């Protein structure tokens, strides 16, 4: 092949069948190859790799519900990679998932990581992936593991998981509020911004429901953003700790939910310190009315307080 190290499909397969050496993935992780005959396998980088992996984790977007992040670009240097029969799975952190998608060049693909339903992953992680690469004609398969060079931000905390919300129904099993009253319809709808709403309702008596929040990963002081619509009743929000003790308090309009708007609840320095030291956090939605209490909630987010 002279000085040109780029493999053609025919040359690559011929080399495998004859037992010749073949450069595969990039370095790092483990790689195994299964063929009809014994072959010598080397690790390498660059255009002379049969299946070239380029780490994209340094520029990856946040993995969250309704979106995905590209963590690897794959270049098929022999034009034989079968993305439909090949598999990629996330070893850690679980549960999240990965798929092959078409890249922006011929014979190129990307690996996209997204949230799995029911997950409660929140933080920044180096993502470990397991690959089983199948090639056209099934002359050989490659299995490998790779871990991203850089940590990727993951916000796959599913508020619709039974452990992450609490109402008076049988499914929500979060610890607080212990005296829940009212129902949350489609509780997981608060996972995504600018989509459908979760509906909280209780007629004839006061309402109180809640969500378990993910661990706080940044320093205070804090504020809470809550997107709501169609508010009926005197609704307010506040935070409690793992013992159910209140950490924040409402004075005047603070913490009150109003129609068709994003409400920002700014917490005091003392409240922020209590939040930072609390460990477990729960967001409580409640009313003091005994009428027809109902509110639609689009999303909520604990944020760094704007100064």
Q: How many CB atoms lie within 10 A of CB 304?
A: 12
Q: Which long-range contacts (CB under 8 A, 24 or more apart) does 35-41 make?
A: 35/139, 35/140, 36/139, 36/140, 39/15
Give, in order, the Cα–Cα distances in Å from 118 to each of 183, 206, 267.
19, 29, 30
Tens-binned pLDDT, residue by residue, of the chain (307 aa): 444 444 444 444 433 343 334 445 555 565 565 554 443 333 345 566 777 888 999 999 999 888 899 999 988 887 888 888 899 999 988 778 888 888 888 878 999 999 887 778 888 999 999 998 888 875 677 888 889 999 999 988 899 999 999 999 999 999 999 999 999 999 999 987 666 899 999 988 899 999 999 989 889 899 999 999 999 999 999 999 999 999 999 877 888 998 868 999 999 999 999 999 998 999 999 998 888 899 999 999 999 998 7
What pLDDT is stored for residue 44 in this prediction? 44
Closest CA to 112 of 77, 88, 147: 88
How far apart CA 76 and CA 51 sit, in angstroms, is: 5
Distances (CA, A) of 180 to 76, 150, 184, 294: 55, 42, 11, 15
How many Å apart are CA 140 and CA 13, to the nearest integer? Answer: 8
Between CA 222 and CA 171 the distance in angstroms is 31
Q: Which residue has the tokens 């709808």?
A: 189
Buried (b) or exposed (e) across 107-133, using 16+ Cβ within 10 A?
Answer: ebbbbbbbbeeebebbeebebbbbbeb
Reading the block at residue 5, the tokens are 């190290």
Strand, coil or helix: 16: helix
Cβ-based neighbours of 178, under 8 Å, separated by 6 or more:
244
Given a contact cutoff of 8 angstroms between Cβ atoms, the answer to whether 129 and 72 are in contact is: yes
**235: its two tokens:** 């609704």
DSSP for 203-259 reads ESS--EEEEEEPPP-S-S-EEEEEEEEEEES-EEEEEEETTS-B-----TTTTB--T
Secondary structure (DSSP) of 147-199 = E-SS-EEEEEE-TTSGGGEE-SSSS---S--TT-BSEEESGGGGGSTTS--EE
- Residue 258 is predicted with a pLDDT of 84
Q: What was the pLDDT predicted at 139?
A: 63
Provide the H-helix boundaries in 4-50: 9-17
For residue 244, the tally of other CB atoms under 10 A from its CB is 15
Residue 32 is predicted with a pLDDT of 60
Q: What is the largest CA-CA distance in the chain?
A: 84
Report the distance separating Cα 24 and Cα 31, nearest Å.
Answer: 8
Q: What is the pLDDT of residue 168?
A: 94
pLDDT at 217: 84
Question: How many angstroms separate the CA atoms of 294 and 157, rounded?
Answer: 25
């Amino acid at each position: 092949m002279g000085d040109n190290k780029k493999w053609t499909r025919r040359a690559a397969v011929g080399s495998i069948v004859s037992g010749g050496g073949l450069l595969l993935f990039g370095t790092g992780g483990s790689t195994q190859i299964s063929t009809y005959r014994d072959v010598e396998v080397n690790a390498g980088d660059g255009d002379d790799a049969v299946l070239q992996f380029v780490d994209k984790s340094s520029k990856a977007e946040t993995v969250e519900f309704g979106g995905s992040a590209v963590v690897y670009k794959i270049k098929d240097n022999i034009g034989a990679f079968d993305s439909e029969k090949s598999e990629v799975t996330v070893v850690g952190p679980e549960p999240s998932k990965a798929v092959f998608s078409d890249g922006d060049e011929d014979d190129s693909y990307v690996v996209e990581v997204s949230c799995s339903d029911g997950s409660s992953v929140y933080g920044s992680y180096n993502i470990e992936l397991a690959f089983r690469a199948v090639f056209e004609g099934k002359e050989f398969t490659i299995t490998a593991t790779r871990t991203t060079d850089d940590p990727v931000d993951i916000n796959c905390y599913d508020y619709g998981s039974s452990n992450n919300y609490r109402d008076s129904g049988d499914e929500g099993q979060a610890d607080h509020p212990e005296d829940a009253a009212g129902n949350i319809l489609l509780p997981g709808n608060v996972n995504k911004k600018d989509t459908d709403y979760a509906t909280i309702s209780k007629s004839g008596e006061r309402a109180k429901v809640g969500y378990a929040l993910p661990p706080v990963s940044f320093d205070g002081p804090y504020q809470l953003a809550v997107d709501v619509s169609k508010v009926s009743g005197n609704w307010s929000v506040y935070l409690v700790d793992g013992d159910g003790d209140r950490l924040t308090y409402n004075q005047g309009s603070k913490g009150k939910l109003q129609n068709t708007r994003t409400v920002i609840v700014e917490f005091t320095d003392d409240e922020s310190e209590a939040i930072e030291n609390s460990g477990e956090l729960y967001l409580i939605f409640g009313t003091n009315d005994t009428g027809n209490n109902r509110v639609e909630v689009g999303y909520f987010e604990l944020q760094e307080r704007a100064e």
